[in-house]
A = this chain, B = another copy of it.
């Protein structure tokens, strides 16, 4: 207790999750820790859902990104979540969002706290933050993620801290909390390399703002990524060939540029592929650090990784956490505002690798909406990175549902990333390098290199007939979305 709550006066604020949850009232805005199922507060939201059975309440719930432990499902099903900002990945909450029961504001992950600070979003009433410890001065030492926790705690009227004793105290010193100064006096963010330390190792708030402390002992939910398969290995292979081409062309050396990879199976597999590559002394400047980050470190390939969270599979977690000190000097966790900040992403010149749901023959990418209407997870950080990267890569398998769906379509049913922000597209079929190409040239490259052989002819046919009508970006508007319509009607595009 003494090492977990170092300010003696604060120890008197330890209470049950139910008591702490009583601070949250109907209509409030609640900012919670948690990013890619890492470091979320759990006891208080569970108590809130329990209480809602007899004492209904509706809140606006803001987090870093996705929550683990089915919390988003539990809160949505308890009708606690009226509004949700800025990202989620829970099937239960997703159902409620698509049914219009929960208003979901899908935001670039770097922007939420900007909008809060400028009061363009409703202010945070209560912050609920998981911590490894509280310092003598009331500073909060986060656990496996920072996300938006620092700004939520700083901006909230009251803060509830969940001290999670299952997380090691050795996390202390891992985090780097930096909050930009208010405009018009804002100065540059002084991150000039992935390993730049520019802030404090804890979230600085006055101790009197900590209204409640709840003791918990929980482990993060395990990552749900699948192991590499033939397709993801092929995608990794195409990308490694491309990087080798960049080295041969003298545009980079074998250390490449700092890497960012989105969450999920494909991006993880791509990074994994770098283990057996000629590249070395790699660095990451990303948002989530997955299994592949630690595998690359173990393989001696990766010298430093900056992120906003650590999300591991159960096996990798069991392997890494007991030896965390072995990795700590090569790791940093930052607020997502900084890990994803356009200023820093552009300055460092990242290779950004993110996952598409589908892309079209001109290189527009849909990352979020199935059939243009059903929200999957949200845009997350993909826009923060893709817009400002040195090289913006999107990856996906060329087909889905056993070939009934082509991931390469005439026109995407929803646009998250426009052609202006997409440099390279990769499927297991191959890689299209779109840099410096006009739309008509992009179409030929994408159809030839990325589309599945079964869908190449229909795509080429669409493009040829659209070409006959002319235009900078030729389209047949009557047919542009017909593949999606046919899929809904017949089960096949």
Contacts and interface: CB of A to CB of B under 8 A. Distances in A.
A269 B224 CA distance: 53
Interface in A386-407: 387-388, 390-391
A214 B480 CA distance: 50
A106 B416 CA distance: 18
Interface residues on A, range: 35 or more
Interface stretch (A45-53, A450-458, A464-472): A464-472
A192 interface: yes
Interface in A219-252: 249-251
Given A192-B187, A420-B383, A473 B414 contact: yes
Contact of A251 (B111, B119, B485): B119
A83 B438 contact: yes
A388 to B, nearest CB: 6
Interface in A84-120: 97-100, 103-108, 111, 114-115, 118-120
Interface string A429-459: 0000001111011000000000000000000
A215 interface: no
A349 interface: yes
Nearest to A191: B188
- Total copies of this chain within the assembly: 2
Contacts of A65: none
Contacts of A343: 188, 342-343, 346-347
A473 B375 CA distance: 8
B342 A105 contact: no
A188 B192 contact: yes
A61 to B, nearest CB: 13
A390 B118 contact: yes
A480 B481 contact: yes
A374 interface: yes
A349 B467 CA distance: 42
A186 interface: yes
8 contacts: A104-B472, A184-B257, A186-B349, A364-B415, A372-B475, A372-B480, A373-B473, A477-B488
Given A120-B423, A341-B346, A415-B415, 20 more contacts: A100-B470, A103-B438, A104-B472, A107-B420, A108-B387, A114-B346, A122-B436, A183-B347, A184-B257, A186-B349, A187-B192, A188-B192, A342-B342, A343-B343, A369-B473, A373-B472, A375-B472, A379-B420, A477-B481, A480-B481
